[in-house]
Structure 1
């Protein structure tokens, strides 16, 4: 899976269906996080940094974005994006969230000038790509400060009655390597308090936000 994303990293933003479909879920998810200027937010499987502009609008230059991804090529695109925009408050780490310990990741973040635990964490269209996604969820949760906010944005079969919509969504997810059936936001619903939900694009995009138990 990492190899696929590495090959297509230079073209990912053009091929991802961001503006017609997936941007809507990012916007809903990031709006639902309790972000303030100066906060540190962790973007799990950040890819090319498609969340970064939305996050910068909320945390400002005094905040910090920590991006973690398995693919060095995707991270290189994220770094280019940050450099073009003059964002100097971004820490990027190459790591597999399903196998890396939260303790080691926390230490790496702190060594680069970040806080060992983030005020908020999010995973957009990421956990459904990971096996086992539960391991990545535990890592994400353990990198969040007590009472910090967490958000999962992911996909399921759309409820739309438009002919072919479900088949198209399934094909798109299969091509991207996502398992549209796993519903990883269930981990957040189980483990967090003050859970809220939202949906977009005929229910294809699912958003869950909550707080880590203190």
Structure 2
């Protein structure tokens, strides 16, 4: 995946201009709540950007756990590294790599991760299926994979569709990619959430013991957060 120039240029300002607190923090919080990670868990964060997932993950995994963040942008990783250093998190490893082409073995021992997460990143990647497959391959059997991404708002919130499309266009995301839709076909025991008027979709599922397609078992809830 070609490095998005917008993230190379705006990495230092990304947290301030990304509508994180009014909109997108809710998706991260919901996904990590659904993951319900144990202390000491090892987590892979694909498209980690500036590390906005780190604090929420750290609350669950504690200092005995670890986070491996992968991003194609050195500038975004520099901000993630600064975030980890300022917080005193010595359990964070950052890897500059294209998530659509990196081999799971390059991320550590095969299937060593207890969980993998990608928030608002897969829709940036034309070949997002490859990145999702890497997340699944790198996660141990029974571990969880979380996907958080965007679609146009629904219901009463549909009036915000032009703004949502504009925000995604400016950020380089394909709002019509819908990468979460394959999760029920690839993972088991899928938990789902829809937040911010349906604009943010969350899917979390467990890695089955083999690569066969598993039946959809989808427990869905809506969150007003």
> Which TM-score bucket, shorter chain as reference?
over 0.9
Give distance in 2, aligned partners of 1:134 and 1:116. 18
User: How many residues align structurally?
Assistant: 207
Tell me what 1:132 maps to: 127
TM-score scaled by structure 2?
0.89
Q: What is the aligned partner in structure 1 of residue 46 from structure 2?
A: 44
RMSD, aligned α-carbons: 1.3
What SS class does the counterpart of residue 8 from structure 1 fall into? helix
Shift of 1:70: 0.3
Q: Distance in 2 between matches of 1:152 and 1:185?
A: 6
Runs of 4+ in 1 over 4 A off after TM superposition: none
Do the aligned partners of 2:40 and 2:61 also contact (CA within 8 Å) in 1?
yes
Q: 2:197 aligns with which of 187, 202, 207?
A: 202
Aligned to 2:161: 166
Q: Secondary structure at the match of 1:161?
A: helix
Write out per-residue CA displacement over residues 28-64 of structure 1, whole angstroms, 9 at most, x where no aligned residue. Answer: 0000003011000111100000000000000001100
Where in structure 1 are there 5+ consecutive unaligned residues?
Answer: none
CA contact (8 A) 1:68 1:93 kept: yes
The gaps in structure 2 that reach 5 residues or longer are: 210-225
| 1:101 matched residue in structure 2 | 103
Say if 2:26 and 2:195, in contact at 8 Å, map to a contact too. yes
Residues 1-214 of structure 1: matches in 2 within 5 Å? 1-106=3-108, 117-162=112-157, 164-214=159-209
**Following the alignment from structure 2 to structure 1, what is the Cα–Cα distance between the partners of residues 64 and 106?**
25
Distance in 2, Cα, partners of 1:147 & 1:77: 32
TM-score, normalization by structure 1: 0.93
